[in-house]
Amino acid sequence: METNGERKGIPLIGERMPSVEAQTTQGMKKIPEDYSGKWIVLFSHPGDFTPVCTTEFYAFAKRNDQFKKLDAELIGLSIDQVFAHIEWVDWIKDKLGMEIPFPVIADDTGKVAAKLGMIHPGKGTNTVRAVFVIDPAGIIRLMIYYPQEIGRQVDEVLRALKALQISDANKVAMPENWPNNELIKDKVILPPPKDVAGAAKRKTPKEGYDWWFTFKSL
């Protein structure tokens, strides 16, 4: 639904990330503008000082350098005040020995979460466990939503980000669980032919099962 030309609720893959300006644990941030030219992994959690969210933040922080190697910046979010975020990330550092190196949006008004469709229906003001992967042009490329009760698999977020980047760079598709696919392992899938002549050229593919299912090594 659109109001005054602005979409309300969950945005769509392929749309530009709605511009938001918010207080974070690392100062005011304007997203995606402050991260122009970089990938962004924006993820929400239901609340500070909760067990599942703590395990997720630990995992994201532990892999922060891996995200940075992919030119990606992590940003957390929940509908909590900034002082709660600060206390919580300090607790994680003191009790678990893990420093949280990325900013956490203090969306205490709920405006950012509402703009991105992050409010969990039937759970009051809690945010869902959403993940948005945004490319350097500010376009939403991937979204993952989990219910409050289920923690995310952070390595899957990393895997999906790598797959998106390789797909973009090579104009190919990525198989299930790439690079550990059960059929074609770490190979990538070629785009299907767009006409009869193109299909005929692939009748006897060097690597593939049929003209519409061909692949290659990178």
Mean pLDDT of 135-146: 96
Confidence band, pLDDT 50/70/90 cuts, at residue 3: very low
Q: Has residue 137 been placed in a domain? A: yes
Report the alpha-carbon distance of residue 42 to residue 93 in Å, rounded: 21
Q: Is residue 125 domain-shared with residue 198, that is, in the same domain?
A: no
Confidence band, pLDDT 50/70/90 cuts, at residue 199: confident
Q: Has residue 164 been placed in a domain? A: no
Pair of tokens at residue 213: 């299912």
Confidence band, pLDDT 50/70/90 cuts, at residue 118: confident
Q: Are 196 and 187 spatial neighbours (Cβ–Cβ below 8 Å)? A: no
Read off the pTM. Answer: 0.92
Q: Is residue 180 domain-shared with residue 141, that is, in the same domain?
A: no
Q: Is residue 133 domain-shared with residue 198, that is, in the same domain?
A: no
> Residue 203 has what pLDDT?
77
Q: Output the domain CATH number for residue 131.
A: 3.40.30.10
Which of these ranges, 77-86, 119-128, 134-143, has the smallest mean pLDDT? 119-128
Q: Has residue 7 been placed in a domain? A: yes
Q: Is residue 108 domain-shared with residue 206, that is, in the same domain?
A: no
Q: Is residue 28 domain-shared with residue 116, that is, in the same domain?
A: yes
E-state strands within the chain: 2-3, 6-7, 20-24, 27-31, 39-44, 72-78, 104-106, 129-134, 140-146, 188-189, 208-210, 213-216
Q: Is residue 144 domain-shared with residue 75, that is, in the same domain?
A: yes
Q: Is residue 146 domain-shared with residue 181, that is, in the same domain?
A: no
Name the catalytic one among 20, 31, 41, 53.
Answer: 53
Q: Has residue 162 been placed in a domain? A: no
Q: Is residue 26 domain-shared with residue 103, that is, in the same domain?
A: yes
Report the alpha-carbon distance of residue 128 to residue 45 in Å, rounded: 6
pLDDT exceeds cutoff 60 at 7: no
130 is catalytic: no
Mean pLDDT of 143-166: 95
Q: Is residue 141 domain-shared with residue 176, that is, in the same domain?
A: no
Q: Has residue 166 been placed in a domain? A: no
Q: Is residue 147 domain-shared with residue 192, that is, in the same domain?
A: no
pLDDT exceeds cutoff 70 at 5: no
Q: Has residue 159 been placed in a domain? A: no
The bridge status of strand 104-106 relative to strand 72-78 is parallel
Q: Has residue 106 been placed in a domain? A: yes
Q: Has residue 215 been placed in a domain? A: yes
Q: Is residue 146 domain-shared with residue 216, that is, in the same domain?
A: no
In angstroms, what CA-CA distances link 75 with 16, 22, 68, 104? 17, 11, 12, 6
Q: Is residue 109 domain-shared with residue 29, that is, in the same domain?
A: yes
Q: Output the domain CATH number for residue 218.
A: 3.30.1020.10
Report the alpha-carbon distance of residue 174 to residue 179 in Å, rounded: 8
Report the alpha-carbon distance of residue 4 to residue 14 in Å, rounded: 20
Range of the domain at 122: 2-152
For the chain, what is the domain count?
2
Of the three residues 120, 152, 184, the one that is the final residue of a domain is: 152
> Residue 1 has what pLDDT?
45
Burial of 143 (0-12, 13-18, 19+ CB in 10 A): middle
Distance of CA 93 to the CA centre of its chain: 24
